[in-house]
Structure 1
Amino acid sequence: MAEKQPNEKLTSWFGRSGWSKGELARQVNRRARQIGAHHVSTDTSRVRRWLDGEQPREPIPKIMSQLFSERFGSVVSIEDLGLRTAVPVSTVESGVDLPWSAPQTVQLISEYSRSDLMLNRRGFLGTSLALTAGTALIEPMQRWLTPNPAGAPTPILAAANGGEQFTGRLSEPELQLLEQTTVMFRQWDAQNGGGLRRKAVVGQLHEVTDLLQESYPEQTTKRLFRLTSELAHLAGWMSYDVGMHPSAQKYYVLALHAAKEAGDRPFGAQILTDMSRQMIHLNRGEDALELIHLAQYGSRDTASPRQQSLLFAMEARAYATIGEVNRCARAVRMAEDTFSDTRPDDNSPGWLKFFTEAELNGENSHSYRDLAYHANRSPLYASMAEPVMQRAVDLFRQDKEHVRSYAFNLIGMASVHLLQNEPRQAVAVAEEAVAIATKVRSERLNTRIRKTTANALQNYADLDSVTQLSDRVVENIPEFVQSG
C-alpha cells in the first residue's frame, strides 16, 4: 500500500488563507450545521490530518470548497484543494464497491443469494469472503447519497415509462402476501434468533429477485425493490447474528443498493445503522461512527423521531467504543430527548417498531457499560449503566416477542454486576440468559455469554457459583460451528 502523502494543494490554500487550524475547524462545523449535517464535528487534530493527506468524508470537501471560494473571491474547486468526492465506481462483483444501477443490483443479489443457498451447505461461502473495513468500506457507501445517473431509464423501469409492454404478472394480493411473509420472518428472528430461518429468508430473497427480472408499473417496481431490500437486510442481520460477518456485510451492502432503487432513504439509514452495529461488535469504533454519521446525514429530512432516537443511540455506542466520553454522553441525551417525541401509535414501519423504550434503555446502558470498560473498569460509568440496564431488563421481561433482546440485556446486566464486584448477582442473571440461549440460535448472544462468563471466571474462580456457571456454559453453549 502506498504511503499517504501530504496534501500540498490544501496546505498551499490553507497557508494563504491566514486561518488557524482551529478557525478552519470552527468554520467547517458552523457551515455543516447550516446545511443540516449535524454529525460533522471536527477539530484541530482532524484538520492536521487533512493537511497530512487524509481525505475528509462528505459533505466536508464541498463545505471546504465553499469556504475557500468565499475567502478568495473566486471559485476554489474540490479538486483545487486536492480533495475528492468519491473514488471511481468499480465493476468487480466482489467486496462492497459495486455498481449503483438497478439491473446490476438485481443480478448481484440473485447471484449471491443463489451461491449462498448452494455453497453454504458446508460453510464455504461465509469463510471464502473477507470483511471490508476502513476507507474501502466507507467511500463506496457514500454513493448511497448521490442521485441516480441521468439519462435513459433502466431496462427494469423502461416499461413504466412507456418503453415496452409490462411483462410481469404479479397481482396485488400476491405482492401483499410477499410483504406479509417478510414481517413473519422478522418476528421469527426476534423470537428464535437468526440461525433458525436464515436459509428460508435467503431463498425468499432469491425468488423475489426473479420477479424483478420482469417489468411492472413504476410503483410496483419500487415496492419490489423495497421488499428486496428488506429481505436482503434481514439475510444480513441473520448472518451477523450467527457469526457470518463477511456474508452479513455483503447482504447489507446489497440491501442498501436495493433501498436506493426503491427511493427509501429511511430504510437505507436503517441498513447503515446495522452495519454500524456490526462494526461496534467487531470493535471497529471509527468505522461504526462513519457509518452512523452517514445514516444521520442521509436521512436528516426523512427520519421520524423514533428513528432519530435510534441513530443517536447508536452514535453513542460508537463513541463509547472509542472512549469519547463527552460526545457519548451528548448522544445519549439526544437519544432520550428525541424518543420523548415518539408516540406508541406513530405508524412506524414494521422494521422500526422494535425500537421501543426497552431497546433505548438497552442501547444507552451498553454505552455506559462500554465507557466503563474503556476507562479501566470505571465504577462511575458502571453505576450509571446499572439503573438504565435494569430498566431495560424489566421492560423486556414483559415483552414476549423480543426474547433474544431480553437475553442480551440480562447478560449485559451480568457484566455490569462484574464491574461493580458483585459476582453472585452476575451469576444469577447470567443463568437466566444461558437458559434462553439454549432455546434460540444466536451465535452473537452465545459469544457475549461466553465472554462474560470467562471474565467472571478470571476474577472470581474461587466462587463455586462462578465455576458452576462456567461448566454450564461449556456444556450447553458449544463453540460456534458455522452453518446456514
Structure 2
Amino acid sequence: MTDGQPRSSKNPAGANKALAAALKDAGCSYASLALRVNELGRNQGVDTAYDKASVTRWLQGQQPRGTAPQLIAAVLSERLGRELSPADLGFAPEPQRPVAGRALVYGDDVAETLHILAELGSADISRRGLPGTVPFVAGALTAPQRDWLLWLLDHQDAPREEVPADGGPVEQVHAMIGMFDRMDNHYGGGGVRTSIVHYLSTEVIPMLRRRGTAAPVRRRLFAAAARLAAMAGWSSYDAGEYGLAQRYMVQGLRLCAEGLDRVLGGQILAGLSHLATCLGRPDEGVALARAGLATAKGAGSPLGLMRLYAMSARGHAAQGRAAEATEALRLAERHLEASRGAEQESAWVRYLDHHYLQAESALCFRDLGLGAQAERTASESLRANADRRRRQAISRSVLATAHLQQNRLDEAIGAATEALDTLGSVHSERSVQALRDFRARLRPVRHEPLVREFERRSLPVLGTAA
C-alpha cells in the first residue's frame, strides 16, 4: 500500500461508532492518528500514506485492508493505556503477518512489542501459529542493532533511578528470575524454557499494561521483563530453538530501552552475538559484540564489558583471527580485574567470574587449534564449575578436542565419554553441539576401534553423524 487509499469493504452498519468513541476517549485528532499509523507501518515494513481523509472514511464505515486495523488498534491502545483489538474498534480482523515475522522487528511502539511477546509466547507454548521450525534469520540482525544504537545516542544521559526493594512487583519478578537462573544452570535451558515463557506472557506482560504504576517502578519492571525475554531467548537457544531465541532476544532488547538499562542491553547483545557465532555467522557475532560494547561502556559494569570482549574473541576465533581474538581476551581479562566484586555490579552480571572467562577462552583456543592452551583452560573450568552441569558438559567436550588436537586419542575419547554421561542430566542443545563438534573431528581416525565404540554409544544422544 502506498497511496493511503487501499481497497476497502463497507461496514453494513454504517458509521463506525466504536472507532469514534475510542478517538474521543483518547483525545486523538484525525491527523495524529493517521501519522502514527503511518509510523508504525513503516517500522513493520509496510509503506502507508494515510491522512485525515482516510480516518474520515474509516469513521464512515470503510475498513482498510491489510494490517491497518491492527495498526489503528495499536495506536489507540498506546494512547488509552489499555489493550484494544480491531474488533473493539468496529473492524473485522483480517489475517495478520505471522508473529514469527513480526517478532524479528525492533519496533518503535512498545505496546506492540508487548503484544508481539504475548502472542509469541502463546504460540510457542501451544505450538499453534508457528512453523514447525522457526528459522534463524541472520539478515534480520542488522536492523535491531541500528535501531538500538540510534536509541542509545538519544539516551546517553538518561537517569538510572533506583527504587528500593519493597516487596512489590519488582522484587517478586526478580525472585522468579533468580529461581529460573538456578534451574537453568543446573538442568539446562530445555528444562526451564516453557516456565520462563509462560511467566513472562501471563504474569509480567499484564503488569506492564496496567495504568497508574509509578514511573521508576515501571522502568524497573520493564528491565526485569527484558531480562525474562532474554532468558526465554537463551533457554530457547539451549533447547535448539534458534529462531525463537533470536526473536525473544530482539523483543527483549526493545523492552530494555523502556527500562533505560544499558548494562542489560549490552548483555542481550552479547547473547545475540553468541547465537550468531555458534550458528555460523561469526562476522555478525563480532558486530553484535561491538554494539554491546558501545552500549555498556560508561555504564559502570566491568563484568558486563568482560563478557562482551569474550564474545568478540569467540567471533574472531571462529574466523581464525588469532591476533584479534587474543587482544579481545586480553581486554576481557583487564575488565575482569577492574571489577570491584559481584556486589558492586548490576544484578544481571553477578554470575560472571574468572571461571566464565576460562570456559569461553577454552572455546576460543579450541577454534584456533591451540590444543595445549585449550586443555589448560578447559581443565581449570571443570575444576571450578562442579555444580554447573551444562558448563561441565561443554568444557569436557572442549577438553576432548584439546586432547585430540595433541594426538592423544585415548584421553580424548575418555573425556568425550564423560561429557556424554553428563548429558544424561542436562537438557542443553548447546552441550550436545559441543560434543558433535568433537565427533566431527574424529573422522580422520574413524577406523580406530575406540572411535567406533564411542560413535556407537553416542548415537542415541548425538544422532547420526552428518
* Superposition TM-score, scaled by structure 1 size: 0.69
Preserved contact between residue 396 and residue 405 of structure 1 (Cα < 8 Å): yes
1:477 positional shift = 4.6
Correspondence for 1:421: 407
> Pick from 399, 404, 411: which aligns with 2:397?
411
Preserved contact between residue 359 and residue 378 of structure 2 (Cα < 8 Å): yes
Q: Which runs of 5+ in 1 are unaligned?
A: 1-87, 151-170, 373-380
1:333 is the counterpart of 2:334: no
> Pick from 467, 470, 482: which aligns with 2:452?
467
| Per-residue CA distance 1:118-157 (angstroms, 9 max, x = gap) | 226xxx73635332224x421332211234899xxxxxxx
1:188 positional shift = 0.4
1:236 positional shift = 0.4
Correspondence for 1:342: 339
Letter in 2 for 1:94: R
The 3 A distance-change label for structure 1 pair 273 and 284 is same
Q: Secondary structure at the match of 2:344?
A: coil
Alpha-carbon distance between aligned partners in 2 of 1:344 and 1:137, rounded to the nearest angstrom: 33
Instruction: Describe how 1:169-184 pairs up with structure 2 within 5 A.
Output: 172-184=167-179
Correspondence for 2:379: 390
The 3 A distance-change label for structure 1 pair 113 and 479 is farther
Letter in 2 for 1:264: D
> Pick from 430, 442, 448: which aligns with 2:428?
442
Preserved contact between residue 427 and residue 466 of structure 1 (Cα < 8 Å): yes
* Superposition TM-score, scaled by structure 2 size: 0.72
Q: Secondary structure at the match of 2:180?
A: helix
Q: Secondary structure at the match of 2:43?
A: coil
The 3 A distance-change label for structure 1 pair 461 and 346 is same
> Pick from 141, 152, 157: which aligns with 1:137?
141
Alpha-carbon distance between aligned partners in 1 of 2:308 and 2:153, rounded to the nearest angstrom: 28
Instruction: Describe how 1:289-300 pairs up with structure 2 within 5 A.
Output: 289-300=286-297
Letter in 2 for 1:441: H
Alpha-carbon distance between aligned partners in 2 of 1:342 and 1:126, rounded to the nearest angstrom: 44
Correspondence for 1:286: 283
Alpha-carbon distance between aligned partners in 2 of 1:459 and 1:200, rounded to the nearest angstrom: 43
The 3 A distance-change label for structure 1 pair 126 and 246 is farther
Preserved contact between residue 189 and residue 234 of structure 2 (Cα < 8 Å): yes
1:111 is the counterpart of 2:96: no
Preserved contact between residue 102 and residue 116 of structure 2 (Cα < 8 Å): no
Across the two proteins, how many residue pairs are aligned to each other?
Answer: 357
* Same amino acid, percent of matched pairs: 26
Correspondence for 1:213: 209
Q: Which runs of 5+ in 2 are unaligned?
A: 1-41, 47-100, 155-165
Preserved contact between residue 270 and residue 308 of structure 2 (Cα < 8 Å): yes
| Per-residue CA distance 1:388-417 (angstroms, 9 max, x = gap) | 2222222223xx1x2101111110110111
Alpha-carbon distance between aligned partners in 1 of 2:44 and 2:331, rounded to the nearest angstrom: 38
The 3 A distance-change label for structure 1 pair 424 and 350 is farther
Alpha-carbon distance between aligned partners in 2 of 1:89 and 1:149, rounded to the nearest angstrom: 19
The 3 A distance-change label for structure 1 pair 404 and 315 is same
> Pick from 81, 95, 109: which aligns with 1:101?
109
Instruction: Describe how 1:192-341 pairs up with structure 2 within 5 A.
Output: 192-207=187-202, 208-215=204-211, 216-341=213-338
Deviates more, 1:459-468 or 1:361-370: 459-468
| Per-residue CA distance 1:233-255 (angstroms, 9 max, x = gap) | 11100111111111110000000
| Per-residue CA distance 1:296-346 (angstroms, 9 max, x = gap) | 011111141111111111111111111222111111111122212234444
The 3 A distance-change label for structure 1 pair 272 and 126 is farther
Of structures 1 and 2, the one scoring higher in RCO (CA 8 A, sep 6+) is: 1
Q: Secondary structure at the match of 1:434?
A: helix
Letter in 2 for 1:232: A
Alpha-carbon distance between aligned partners in 2 of 1:270 and 1:148, rounded to the nearest angstrom: 15
The 3 A distance-change label for structure 1 pair 292 and 345 is closer
Alpha-carbon distance between aligned partners in 1 of 2:405 and 2:351, rounded to the nearest angstrom: 28
Instruction: Describe how 1:140-155 pairs up with structure 2 within 5 A.
Output: 140-147=144-151
Letter in 1 for 2:138: A
* RMSD, aligned CA: 2.3
